[in-house]
Structure 1
C-alpha cells in the first residue's frame, strides 16, 4: 500500500499502473470478451471496419454486407474512435475477438494513464487514484457487462479535458483541451453531451471566475475540438432523416424509463449502488468536484428529473450514463481530500454492492462465448440503421433483430441489366451516397430500397461524396493544421 500513496518514481508507478490494467483485463484475455450486452455489435463492427481498411478506406462508414447484404450506413452515425482501433488491430492480423479484447485493455490502460497525468498535475496520489479509476465498478461494467466500448473510451478523455482546462490559458492547455474534446466527441456522442453539461461547463465556469484570462483560449480550444471532430459529427447530425431514428426514441430508450424507482433489482444494485457510494465518499471533500459528483449522481438516478426534459439531454437515453462523469469527479475529489471515519466506512460498504454485482454479471457474460460464424454470416445490424420507412417488424427495446428476409431475392451488386421496362428495386438500402446511372447519366431513384423506373439496358450503382463529408473533412483538416501550427510555435519557443 505504501507504493500507492508515496512516490516510487514515475517509471515504477507507470509499471504498476500497467500491471493493474493487465490484472483487471486478465479474465477477458483468458476466456475472451464473452456475451456482453453489446458483443454482437463489437464483433460486427470490428470485422467490417477491418474489411473496409482492406478495401483501402481510411474511414469506413458504409458496411455493404450488413442486413444480409442490404448494407448499412452505421458509421455515418456511430462515433468511430474505439471500433476504428479494433478494426485496425484485426486488419493487422488479430482475430476479431482478440482485437476487441486488446481494445478493452488499451482503453482501460489509457484511462489510467490519463487519470495519472491529471492527478499528478494536482499532486494528489496519482497512482492510487488512477488504479481506483480503472477498477471503478461502472468503468469495469462498461467493459465486461455492457460491452460499451465506445462509452468506455469516454473514461480516457475526461481526465485530459480537465487537464487541458487546468493548463489554460497556456498554449499547451489549448492543444490538450482541443484534442481531448475532439477525442470525446469521436468516441461517444451521448457521453460527450452529458460531460459538456455536467462536467466541462461547470469546471470551465469555476476556473473562469477565478482566472478570466482563460475564457478566450478556452473558446478557441472548444472551436478547434469541434472542428477536429467535424468529419464525424457533421454527417451524423445532418443525415438522420435517412435512417430509422424513431427506434432510438421509443419508450424503452426514454431517460424517464430508467429513473431509480423503475430500475430492476440488478440495475438498482449496480447503478444506484455506484452513485450512492461515490457520493458518500466525495461529498465530505467540499470542493467543486464534490458538487459535480453530487449533481451528476443525483441526475443519474433521475432524482433531478426536469433536466431530462431538455431537448438534447432527452436523447441521451440512459441517465446512468452519467456514472462516467461521477466516477471521474468523485475520485478526483477523494484523492485531494481522502474521506475519514463514518463517510469512509459507509462509502466502502455501499460500493461493495455494485462491485459484487459487476463481478457476478461479468462472470455470466464471460462464460457464454458468442457464435461468431453465425453472427458474421447474417450480419444483422442495429435496427436504427435501417433505411427510413423500411418495415422493422418485431423490433423493440429488448428485441434488436430486424427480419429482412423478405428482400433476399432482390438483385444486388453494382450493376444490373434490365430486359423489360418498368420499376426496378435493388437489394440495397437507399442512402444519399448512392446514385443510379445509365450511360453516365443519373437516373432518379426513390424508396427505402433503391427503386427506379427503367428501360432495357445496363444500369450502375455508383458512390458519390456528400457535401457533409467534404465540409466535415475540410473542417477537421483545417483544425488539425491550426493545432500543428500551435505545436510548432510551442516547440520553436522551447528551443
Structure 2
C-alpha cells in the first residue's frame, strides 16, 4: 500500500479538502460549545511540559488552582499534539489550528487508504475521503461543537480499521504492530469515541474476515494486536477505568447528560444540513448524517452488479452497520443503552453519527465503481464532490464573537472556567475527587498569584498555629518544599484537593494525609519543631508500574522494528487500474476543483450571503406571538410559539414551546429557565414543567447574550397521560442556576415570572360511541358533534356529562352554555348556565375545526323518573341565542336518562 502515496487521487483529494480548512485561517476560535476549553487544556499540558512532566495525571492549575485529575481520566493525545506545536515555537492558537488542519488531512487520507483496501480505484477512494472530510458531523465538530479530541479520534479510526484490514489481508509482524499502535492511539484520543470505535472495529474485523477469508492464525494475530494496543495505552486506560469510584463520574448520568433525553428521530438523522441564521445566538444543532450523503450512498447500490464478491460483502456489512448505528440513536434502542455496561457514559446517543460517517463515505466511494467509462467516472467525481461540499456549506461559515488566544495565560484559563460555568474545564465537575462534597467551588486565594504570573504557594498559612513560621524553599506545580517552625504540633492544610497520588513528607518521610471540609482539601499532621515539608504529586506505585509496562512494550516494538527493518513490498490492489483516468481527465478534474475554490474564496465568501443568512434579530423567523417582557433589566423575552399552534392538546402528547430571548446587558450570573404548567382554575396547582440549565443551552455569561442576537429556546413538554382535561396556563421565568430560590422578576410588575396570555386546553378525546349521527349546528357558529351521557343515575347522585363541540368558524365573542333538565311533563328540574370551563376557555378562544370536550356538572335529583336534556348557547347579558336551523333556541337530546331508586 506504500505506493498509494504517489497516486494522483490522493493529492487531488488534498485540494478538495482546502475549503473545510478555510475558517482555521481566521483570527481566533469560533464560539463553539467546547472548542475554547480544549484549547485551554493544551495550555495546561504545555505548562506541565515546561515543568518537565510529560504525562501529568493531575492538572494543578484548574479549579482556581486547587487542581483536577483531568489527564488521569481523559485522553491526553490531543493536548500532547497541541503542546508539541508550542514546544516547536508556535503560539497556543497557531499550534491548535495546525493540529486541526493536520487532522482534517489525517481523516481523509485514512479513509482513502481504507477505500483502496476495499479494491476501490483512485477516483472512488478520493470521493470516499472527501465524503468523510465533509461529513456534517465532522464539520460540526470542527467549528460548532469544538470537541477536538473527538475529532482526533474520528480521524484515527479509519487508520485503525485500515491497519487491521491490512493485517488480515497480508499478515506479517509489521502489519500486526501497526494495528496495535493505531488502536493504542485511538484509546489515548477520546474515551467515548474509543469505546464506540472499539465496537465498530470489532464489527469491521468480522466483516473483513467474511470478505477476505484469511488464514485462521490471523484471527489470533488480530486479537494479539488489540491486546498490544491496550498494553501500549495501559498507563492511561487501566487507571481511567479502575479509578472511576474516586471521582463524581455519576454526574454524567444525570440532568442534561442523561442519554434518555438525547435520542433523535429519523427525520432529523436523515435531514439536509439547515442554513444557520447569523442573528441566532445559539445556532441550530446539526445532528444529521446529511440527506445528500445518504442519497449518494443509496445511489451507489446501482453499481452492485459490477462489484467483486468481497466488495459486495463489505458493502452489505457497511449498510448493516449504518442501519444499526442509526437504530442506536433512536428511542427504541433505550433498553440497550440502559443495560450495556459503560454505554450510558456516552451521554449522547448521537455520538454514533461520527462513526456512521465512515461506512457512508466508503459506500459513496464504492459507487464510483459503477461508472465504467473513465469520462463518466471523472464527471461523476466532479458532481459528487460538489454535492459533498454544498451539502455542508452552511457549516463552513461559523459566526459570532471569536476568541483570540495567542497570548492566553493560566489566569485567563481560570477566568474562562468560572465565566463559562465550568469546573476544571469540564461540564459538571465530574472529575472532582469524591472527598469534595461542595457542588460549587468558591474562588481560592491562589488566583491572585496566577494573576501576577507567579507560582502559587499551596501551604495554607491560616492553618499554622500562633507563633509558627514558614517559608518556601522551592515552588513547582506538582512539587513544593517549605521550611516550617512549629511551637506545637499542628495539622497543616494545603490548597489542593485530596486525591490519591498526593503525598506530604516531613523531613523526607511520608506522613498520613486526609481530606478536610466540604472542599476536601489535603491536610497532614506535623509534629512540633522545625521541619522541611514537601508537598508532591508523586503518584502511586501501580500507576508507575503501568507506565513502565507501556513504555517497555513500546520500546520492545521499536527495537524489533529497528533490528529487522524489513521493508514490505507494495501491495497491488487486484483488478484495479492504478490510473483509472487519463492524463487529460485528471487535469480537467483538477481544474474543476480549482474553479470551485476560486468561486468560493473570491466570490462567495466576500460578496454573498448564500450560506450565511441574517434575519432581523428583533423579529426572529418562526416567532408567532410577541411578548417583549424584560426580566430584571437583564434578559428580554421577545416572544414565543407553540406546537400545536391551536393550543389544544391531549394527555400523553408533547407540547413544543419555543421561546425567543435576548440579553440586555453583560451578565456574570448563570441563569436557568423554567416553564410551569398551572391549572387555570383555582387553586392553580403546578401540574407539569420544563427546566433548562441554560436558555437555549447557551450560558447567560456567553458572548451571544451581549450582542444584537436572539437565543432560541425549545422546550419539549410531555403532557402527563393522567392529567385531568381542562384549561392550563403556562408561566415562564428565570432563576439563578446555583441558587434556584433567586429568581428574576418581571420589570414593572414584581412578579417572579411571566404568564403567557394563551390558555392551553388539555382536551378529552371523544369516544367513538359518543359521536352523534348528524352534528347539530347552533347559529352556524358552534355545532354539537357528540355527547357522553349516562343511561341511568342513582337518586341523589350528581350528574357528570361531556359534550363535544366544534367551532364552525372563528368566534369573536364569548357564549354561555346552558343545560336544562326537564321531567316527563317538560318542567325544568335543574340547570347549569356557565361559559365553558367557568370562563377559563371562552368560545372566543376556540380554534375552528377542532373538537372541544366540555364537561358539565349537575346536582343530583331525589325524585326518580325519566329526564331529558335541553342544551343551547346564548350571549350574556343580551341573552341573544344561537338558534338551531329550525329557529329553536335549544336542542333536546332524544335519549332520556333514568334516575333510579
Task: Normalising by structure 1, report the TM-score.
Answer: 0.85
Judged with a 3 Å threshold, the aligned counterparts in structure 2 of structure 1 residues 408 and 427 are, in CA distance, closer, same or farther, namely: farther
Kindly state the Cα deviation for residue 439 of structure 1 after the two structures are TM-superposed.
1.6
CA contact (8 A) 1:42 1:100 kept: no
Q: CA distance change for structure 1 residues 302 and 99 in 2, over 3 Å: closer, same or farther?
A: farther
Alpha-carbon deviation of 1:376? 2.7
Bigger helix fraction: 1
* Cα offset, 1:298, TM superposition: 2.2
Task: Give the structure 2 partner of residue 449 of structure 1.
Answer: 521
Alpha carbons 1:154, 1:324 under 8 Å: kept: no
Equivalent position to 1:411, from 459, 476, 493: 459
Name stretches of at least 5 consecutive residues in structure 2 with no aligned partner. 275-281, 302-314, 371-383, 418-423, 449-457, 461-474, 570-901
Partner SS, residue 363 of structure 1: coil
- Listed one character per residue, the Cα deviations across residues 100-142 of structure 1 (whole Å, up to 9, x for unaligned) are 1111111111111211211223332122211221121111111
Of the three residues 342, 355, 377, the one matched with 2:392 is: 355
Q: Note the 1:224-243 alignment, pairs <5 A.
A: 224-243=228-247
Q: Does the 8 Å contact 1:245/1:384 carry over to 2?
A: yes
Quote the offset at 1:493 in angstroms.
Answer: 7.3
Residue 286 of structure 2 is matched in structure 1 by 270
Does 151-160 or 161-170 show the bigger shift? 161-170
Measure the CA separation in 2 of the matches of 1:101 and 1:420: 55
Q: CA RMSD in A?
A: 3.4
1:167 has 2:166 as partner: yes
**8 Å contact kept, 1:67–1:379:** no
Q: Hey, what's the Cα distance between the residues in 1 that align with 2:350 and 2:559?
A: 40
**Structure 2 residue matching 1:437: 3-state secondary structure:** strand
* Mapped contact 1:246–1:384 kept (Cα < 8 A): yes
Mark the CA change 1:23 to 1:247 in structure 2 (over 3 Å): closer, same or farther. same
Residue 364 (structure 2) aligns with:
334
1:203 to 1:14, Cα distance in 2 relative to 1, 3 A = closer
Q: Is the 1:38–1:146 contact (alpha carbons within 8 Å) kept by the matching residues of 2?
A: yes
Compare the two structures and name the one with the higher strand fraction: 2
The Cα of 1:291 is off from its aligned counterpart by: 1.1
CA contact (8 A) 2:107 2:155 kept: yes
Shift in Å, 1:405: 3.8
Contact 1:260 1:268 in 2 (8 A): no
2:91 pairs with 1:103: no
Distance 1:370 1:386, change over 3 A: farther
Note the alpha carbon deviations across 1:367-393, whole angstroms, 9 max, x for none. 332574563354742222322232443
Higher alpha-carbon Rg: 2
Counting only pairs closer than 5 Å after superposition, residues 303-452 of structure 1 correspond to structure 2 as: 303-309=332-338, 310-337=340-367, 355=392, 358-359=395-396, 362-364=398-400, 367-369=401-403, 372=408, 375-378=412-415, 380=417, 381=424, 382=426, 383-393=429-439, 402-405=441-444, 411=459, 414-416=480-482, 417=484, 418-447=486-515, 448-452=520-524
- Name the structure 2 match of 1:299: 328
CA distance in 2, matches of 1:30, 1:407: 35
CA distance in 1 between partners of 2:387 and 2:18 (Å): 26
Distance 1:411 1:427 in 2: 6
For residues 10-49 of structure 1, the aligned pairs below 5 Å read 10=6, 12-49=8-45
SS of residue in 1 equivalent to 2:26:
helix
- The whole-number CA distance in structure 2 between the counterparts of 1:275 and 1:194 is 21
CA contact (8 A) 1:111 1:156 kept: yes
Deviation at 1:60, TM superposition (A): 3.0
Deviation at 1:81, TM superposition (A): 0.9
* Conserved 8 A contact 1:392-1:403: no
Give SS of 1:174's match: helix
| Alpha carbons of structure 1 residues 406 and 276: separation in structure 2 relative to 1, 3 Å | farther
What secondary structure, in the 3-state scheme, does the structure 1 residue paired with 2:535 have?
strand
- Structure 1 residues 300 and 275, CA gap change in structure 2 (3 angstroms): farther
Contact in 2 for aligned 1:108/1:134 (Cα 8 Å) = yes
SS in 2 for 1:63: coil
**SS at 2:351's partner residue?**
helix
Residues 481, 54 of structure 1: alpha-carbon distance in 2 compared, 3 angstrom cutoff? closer
Which of 535, 544, 551 is equivalent to 1:477? Answer: 551
Q: How much has 1:290 moved relative to structure 2? A: 1.1
Indicate if the aligned counterparts of 2:104 and 2:133 stay in contact, CA closer than 8 A. Answer: yes
For residues 261 and 443 of structure 2, what CA distance do their matches in structure 1 show? 29
1:131 and 2:130 equivalent?
yes
Q: Is the 8 A contact 2:263 2:330 kept in 1?
A: yes
For residue 94 of structure 1, report the CA deviation from its aligned partner: 1.5
> When the two structures are aligned, how many residues end up with a matched partner?
472
**Is the contact between residue 129 and residue 332 of structure 1 (CA under 8 Å) also seen in structure 2?**
yes
Given that 1:166 and 1:173 are in contact with CA atoms closer than 8 Å, whether structure 2 keeps it comes out as no
Q: In the alignment, does 2:536 pair up with 1:462?
A: yes
Paired with 2:284 and 2:333, the residues of 1 have a C-alpha distance of 17
Partner of 1:3: none
For residues 303 and 338 of structure 1, what CA distance do their matches in structure 2 show? 35
In structure 2, C-alpha distance between the alignment counterparts of 1:292 and 1:144, rounded to whole Å? 27
Distance 1:276 1:471 in 2: 50
**Distance in 1, Cα, partners of 2:28 & 2:444:** 31
CA shift, 1:314, in A, is 1.2
Are residues 165 and 268 of structure 1, via their aligned partners in 2, closer, same or farther at CA, if it must alter by over 3 Å?
farther
Greater RCO (Cα-Cα under 8 Å, separation 6 or more): 1
Q: Which digits, 9 at most, give the CA deviation of each residue in 1:428-455, with x for residues without a partner?
A: 1212221111122221111121112333
Contact 1:53 1:88 survives alignment (8 Å): no
Cα deviation, residue 348, structure 1: 11
TM-superposed deviation, 1:420:
4.3
Which of 18-27 and 75-84 deviates more? 18-27
Point out the more displaced range, 166-175 or 351-360: 351-360
C-alpha deviation, 1:167, in angstroms = 1.9
CA distance in structure 2 between the aligned counterparts of 1:493 and 1:104, rounded to whole angstroms: 31
Taking a change above 3 Å as real, the CA distance of residues 278 and 294 of structure 1, as seen in their structure-2 partners, is farther
Counterparts in 2 of 1:489 and 1:257: CA distance versus 1, 3 Å: farther
128-137 or 21-30, which deviates more: 21-30
Whole-Å separation in 1 of the counterparts to 2:386 and 2:394: 14
Deviation of 1:235 after TM superposition, in Å, equals 2.2
**Deviation (angstroms), 1:468:** 3.2
The aligned runs of 1:139-218 (5 Å cut-off) are 139-169=138-168, 170-171=171-172, 172-197=174-199, 199-209=200-210, 210-211=213-214, 212-218=216-222
Structure-2 residue corresponding to 1:344: none
Cα distance in 2 between the residues matched to 1:435 and 1:236: 20
